[in-house]
Structure 1
């Protein structure tokens, strides 16, 4: 049963974050510089409007504890005390070269990554806010960044240039880059004639709690999946067709039965929960390839042609049945028609129960239970 958390904001909510502390505080940021702190029951603990009233584009609790909340507005990152919302404890002005879109903290909260409209990713030392790395490779807006768990020097960034990049912070060039446009073109043979797809502009990236899977929500409605192997190499990539319009959000859920549960949201006003544990990118061993094996070219002897045709028909039938079964198995385990475009998703445990908090075009938050089938 969905619940509404209201009266925390007067404008559209753009971002949400959950703290790892025992009190389980939550924070939301909205247009016009509004920041609100919530309790586990949806009660409002504190509210603040930051000077300048610029949109709050990202909020993030420190993984090291709930005493620090990082919020981005304009080109500035402000550090707040969520239990004492009187104003910024510290401001990192000019943290972004242009307006900041996303923040990420490593597990020790010693490094803060800042992605901005210029396509630049800056890594700041915490505390202090000194810039220790400037990563310039994106040719358009950098929309999202995430550190890899268990790899504090590995950072992934995605952007509206359709690029996904994995960085080792010892260097200022990426370890590898994948262009989602190229991946989409490889998959175009599956397209029906006359069917058009939006370009795969990358909106949001998430890393599984085990650190080896990336999920990237893109404008083509897909969530692109990448598996990272030893030596931080890209081992395999693929995708799920998650939404009928652009996918705006994708977040791995760390508190369910395994690390490969993913919650997604899109411009089609739907929210979905996926079990990716059997997806070929996650678990390649023992899975059936989705494409038919290539047959050897060459002349077929005339006397075998009839036999071959019937054999091919039988193979095609088996293949169709297998792909229909696979589609059914690979669909979402939970699908929610939310009724409004999704701005942000935040998977969270509330009073011991798994939930997802949805921010949309409104000034309210909606809480849905993530009941596992």
Structure 2
């Protein structure tokens, strides 16, 4: 029975944030994204989602990091320039991540925008001080300082035609200013926006430009004329625009020759991409399959960046939730979804018959549906506020339940194409629904608990094809006086347990009659679970403990202590013989119930571990927490046991061989084997055996072993030297090997510490032997003095 117990889980994978907001750029070949992530830039492979390189970690940072405010990549994709909190501007090699140059920006405040000219030989930096500085990056010298703007720069761009020698910038004063990039003199000011200018694009012929702003308009300008050619109202705050290529196709849109014009794709507040012909102020296309939720507040943001890649004919959308969604431009179908930053991970469940997918509830209204093998993700829309909890049906693994801050519960179904559809919505709670749990023997009901202090039983609809049908609660009970944090259903569906902030857990019957109250925790209860084999229930609490209770008499059977703060999630393992727990201290602990000991403690997270999902055969555990990391763990107990058994077997064979060699008096071979086996006492025995044939025999024997073995022997000798009985052999080993060390033929890696540890004992042995010798001499002298008297007496 004991052999089936888990002993160790090892981390096999970690999926962490790669885009936490800020700038993002797409390489020309479409293969990589450069994403701002906390204090660095991560280079992400579009196909594999792997972080291939990190740019921004330089050796001259005292604390290892210097926050990046903004970055830009050169047109040839060879160079990346970054502006830092320290006031430095740094130049990096994009392929190796190596820092090439660094210099001071010279701005009074932070640098808000950076731009390369079309030849990638000059860079402009726009600061929060309203100034633009132009840099020759070959010599990293400032060639001009452009003044006139007020406030923080939001847009900064060189004109793509280098012969025009123009640079454009817009700051908080809402005007687009232009300067001569060679002389630094003011050129034309383009005044037309009444709010922050968010984006600026130039037409291919270089004669026109289009700007967008938070004032809900697109403006078409002719370069060199300060008056707007056309102002196009778009009825939403626009954060980003891109100019469409001369020939492009999107669904339900055919360009006619008479309507040839300047086509601009824009996005912002509403989360959908729209394409406008700005020359005739007409909306030509509006995205109908947007995966981006509109902004919840007026003037807020849903989309932060639009990026077009000509090589792949794809459009990518970076959202305010830090997701990157790539669409094929011709069909506008979603090709890939990349989750840059998940915020806090609140719950995880395995989905599907083969458990190839997981559903993750993060600090978002959208659920994230991952394929475990590739970590490809799909966003599942439905909830209107943050999703808090998930639960799946053991009898129907492709059906699961979710609940959220929108006071609702939803039932979802994963079809054979792994598409997720909602087929039931329950909206009877009056507060956030913090926990759900499903029936364990059927798929007919599930339970939910809420901040309204109510416990509800819901009936699952039989038809899964009816989308978004309303579901009813069959029973409701005011269960606790404070927030209810958790609910669980027993393996036979006969008992329901709830745990609350009121420090108690309660047991209920199927029709929600109270069976009993479990009292004993000193703080609120976070999680409750039934054992699959015993009549016991397990609770975890903010008092840092886990408690095991008897269902029969409601007594506390055991308390497990070891976590340093709240224990947030618990599960039974190994047919009820073990417990796995996760806590606010970032630790995952494995407990043996019988012995009450903690078998394993893993520290894979930097914050609270809110979620813990175990697959059916308990071979894989996935954890997630406040650090936005998903960590996959694999049970390697069996492998460890096999390795240990093989090592034991090999050791027995070696010991037998050693005994045989000693028996046959093959002392050199025996010495080599004993050293290899790291057996100091066996080595001592062999050395003492050799010393029976004299000191010279020891010297000859030690010539037969190599330097590594001699070094190990010296280490053993230092160990023997600590004991009076064995110091003779140790001192003779030192005596034989000392000349080799002095001559340099034998190099010992930690010689100083070896000598330091050996000297005090050697001095003690020397003093003891000196005293012994003195005593012997005194006895000899006494005996010699007594002999003449003895002779006289005899005479």
Q: Is the 8 A contact 1:69 1:80 kept in 2?
A: yes
Q: 1:332 — aligned with what?
A: 334
Partner of 2:228: 174
Structure 1 residues 34 and 136, CA, compared in 2 at 3 Å: closer, same or farther?
same
Q: Which runs of 5+ in 1 are unaligned?
A: 182-199, 279-329, 342-373
- CA distance in 2 between partners of 1:166 and 1:67 (Å): 29
- 1:34–1:178 CA distance, 2 compared to 1 (3 A): farther
Q: What displacement does 1:105 show?
A: 1.9
Q: Structure 1 residue 205 and structure 2 residue 241: aligned?
A: yes
Q: CA RMSD in A?
A: 2.6
Q: How many Å apart are 1:15 and its aligned residue?
A: 3.2
What do the CA deviations read for 1:131-177 (whole angstroms, capped 9, x no partner)?
Answer: 22111111111122121222x12111111112111111243222222
1:107 equivalent among 148, 151, 160: 160
Query: Offset of 1:62 from its aligned partner?
Result: 0.7
Moved more, 236-245 or 218-227: 236-245
Structure 1 residues 16 and 225, CA gap change in structure 2 (3 angstroms): farther
Output aligned runs, 1:77-226, within 5 Å: 77-85=132-140, 87-94=141-148, 96-109=149-162, 110-150=165-205, 152-181=206-235, 200-210=236-246, 212-226=262-276
Determine if contact 2:232/2:281 at 8 Å carries over to the other structure: no
Contact 2:146-2:179 at 8 Å conserved across structures? no
Change (3 A) 1:67 1:338: same
Greater mean deviation of Cα atoms: 66-75 or 38-47: 38-47
Match of 2:112 in 1: 57
Change (3 A) 1:226 1:16: farther
1:243 to 292, 300, 322: 292
Q: What is the distance in 1 between the residues matched to 2:124 and 2:93?
A: 18
Structure with larger RCO (C-alpha < 8 A, sep 6+): 1
8 Å contact 1:215–1:225 — kept in the other structure?
Answer: yes
Distance 1:46 1:143, change over 3 A: same
Describe the shift of the 1:140–1:235 C-alpha distance in structure 2 as closer, same or farther (beyond 3 A).
Answer: closer
State the TM-score, normalizing by the size of structure 1.
0.63
1:345 matched residue in structure 2: none
Distance 1:30 1:331, change over 3 A: farther
Q: Cα offset for 1:61? A: 0.9
Q: Aligned partners of 1:159 and 1:34: how far apart in 2?
A: 30
- Report how far residue 129 of structure 1 moved: 2.6
**Cα gap change, 1:2/1:51 in structure 2, threshold over 3 Å: closer, same or farther?**
same
Q: CA deviation at 1:69?
A: 0.8
SS in 1 for 2:78: coil
Quote the Cα distance in structure 1 between the aligned partners of 2:110 and 2:334. 33
The answer as to 2:316 corresponding to 1:263 is yes
| SS, match of residue 307 in structure 2 | strand
**Native 8 Å contact 1:117 1:143 kept in 2:** no
1:269-318 CA deviation, whole Å, 9 max, x = no partner?
1012222224xxxxxxxxxxxxxxxxxxxxxxxxxxxxxxxxxxxxxxxx
CA distance in 2: counterparts of 1:108 and 1:58, whole angstroms: 20
The question of whether the paired residues in 1 share the 8 Å contact of 2:71 and 2:82 is answered with: yes
Cα distance in 1 for partners of 2:327, 2:308 equals: 9
For residue 252 of structure 1, the aligned residue among 304, 308, 323 is: 308
Deviation at 1:340, TM superposition (A): 6.7
How many Å apart are 1:121 and its aligned residue?
0.8
Structure 2: distance between partners of 1:128 and 1:171: 20
Give the gaps of 5 or more residues in structure 2.
1-49, 248-261, 296-301, 344-795
Please name the residue that 1:359 is paired with. none
1:360-371 counterparts in 2 under 5 A? none
CA shift, 1:234, in A, is 4.1
Aligned residues, how many? 261
1:247, CA displacement in angstroms? 0.8
Shift of 1:206: 2.2
Q: Matches of 2:183 and 2:286 in 1, distance apart?
A: 39
Q: Structure 2: how far apart are the matches of 1:202 and 1:32?
A: 31
- State whether residues 105 and 146 of structure 1, in contact with CA within 8 Å, keep that contact through their aligned partners in structure 2: no
Pick from 315, 319, 326 the counterpart of residue 273 of structure 1: 326
Rate the CA distance shift 1:209–1:104 in 2: closer, same or farther, 3 A.
Answer: farther
| Secondary structure, aligned partner of 2:334 | coil
Name the residue aligned to 1:288. none
| CA spacing shift, 1:30–1:273, aligned 2, 3 Å | farther
Using the TM superposition, give the Cα deviation of residue 71 of structure 1 relative to its aligned residue in structure 2, in angstroms: 1.4
Deviations 1:240-275 (A, max 9, x none): 335235211112223x144xx222212111012222
1:15 to 1:171, Cα distance in 2 relative to 1, 3 A: same
